[in-house]
Amino acid sequence: MPLVGGKILLKDAIKNKYAVPAFGVVNLEGAKAAILAAEELNAPIILQTTEGGINYAGHEELAAIIIACAKKAKIPVAVHLDHGRDIKYHQKSLELGYTSLMIDGSTLSFKENIEITNKVRNLIKNENITLEAEIGIIGGKEDDIEEDNDHFTKVEDAIKFIDNTNIDMLAIACGTSHGFYCKEPKINFDLIKEISSKGKVPLVLHGGTGIPLEQISKAVSAGIRKANFDSELKKAIISGILEYMDKNPEAFDLRKIFQVGINKAKEIAKEKIKAVGADNKNWLK
């Protein structure tokens, strides 16, 4: 039963001033790692998939795995479409039981971004389902799209965008980027503060990988209410697998090999959950 709507997760995060951690998932192992971490820390979480992840695993297949994991979890879990750009993914996600969607129109013009965001809003008939949009371009490598990182969100654009759409949360470009950083990121905390105090919706931090944990916490204090983590967890799964294979080069039992990867990713996920202040925020009981 703990598959929940994005709305109720976000509501509690706003009330208690923490951010819901959202973990990018492409397979069973990633979903297990994130849920085990959340259960150990008694935290609500979001599991999310991108178009690229869906194309890799198959939408029905990936949704079946993630939603099954969410339903068995002892903590509240929302299932979210991350960086949905083509509306067919939003339609399919709703059919498959996702409880939150993101429409990423950030590479379109301001006007087109508003239009496509409103179009996706109109698809959502269930009021418990959340819609996230993005304005300003978050740099780095997201799925198969690469952006340089010099398009910070402008405060007036964010306010105007919020006023012209009926979104539940907004991703802004505030100095983070997707994937791994070459140098330490410089987050514009004042920008987060200003948009979150002037805008009427909570803000989302993308590109959480590689940001020092204390900076994540500072971003949450400034007003972030959903924080995305992706690449670091995947890397942890791989490093666990490599470590095991290094010690056991003849191994072929995938259960044992992948378990080490799951354990490694779980520890990383726990660090992130604590950094956003979501530990012990399970409101189910």
How far apart CA 220 and CA 207 sit, in angstroms, is 14
- With CB under 5 A as the contact rule, which of the stretches 17-25, 143-151, 200-208, 264-272 interacts with Zn ion? 200-208
Please give the angle made by the CA atoms of 196, 101 and 274, to the nearest 5 degrees.
55
Q: Report the nearest approach of Zn ion to the CB of residue 195 (Å).
A: 17
From 12, 82, 143, 279, active-site residue: 82
Closest-by-Cβ residue to Zn ion is: 206
Q: Is 82 assigned a catalytic role?
A: yes
* 178 or 240: CB nearest Zn ion: 178
When binding is defined by CB under 5 A, the residue of 206, 225, 266, 272 that contacts Zn ion is: 206
149 contact partners, CB below 8 Å, separation of at least 6: 137, 138, 139, 140, 173, 175, 177
Q: How far is the CB of 114 from Zn ion (least distance, A)?
A: 19
Residue whose entry in the numeric block shows the structure tokens 């993005």: 134
Q: How far is the CB of 259 from Zn ion (least distance, A)?
A: 28
Nearer to Zn ion, 191 or 262 (CB): 191
Kindly tell me the sign of the dihedral angle through the C-alpha atoms of 264, 237, 130, 125.
negative
The binding track of 101-140 with respect to Zn ion, each residue x by CB under 5 A or -, is ----------------------------------------
- Token pair belonging to 5: 């709507």
Distance in Å, CB of 227 to Zn ion, minimum: 11
By CB under 5 A, the count of residues binding Zn ion is 1
Q: Three-class SS string for 109-170?
A: CHHHHHHHHHHHHHHCCCCCCEEEEEECECEEEECCEEECCCECCCHHHHHHHHHCCCCCEE
Q: Which is nearer to Zn ion, 209 or 217 (CB)?
A: 209
Residues labelled as active-site residues: 82
User: Which residues bind to Zn ion, rule: CB under 5 A?
Assistant: 206
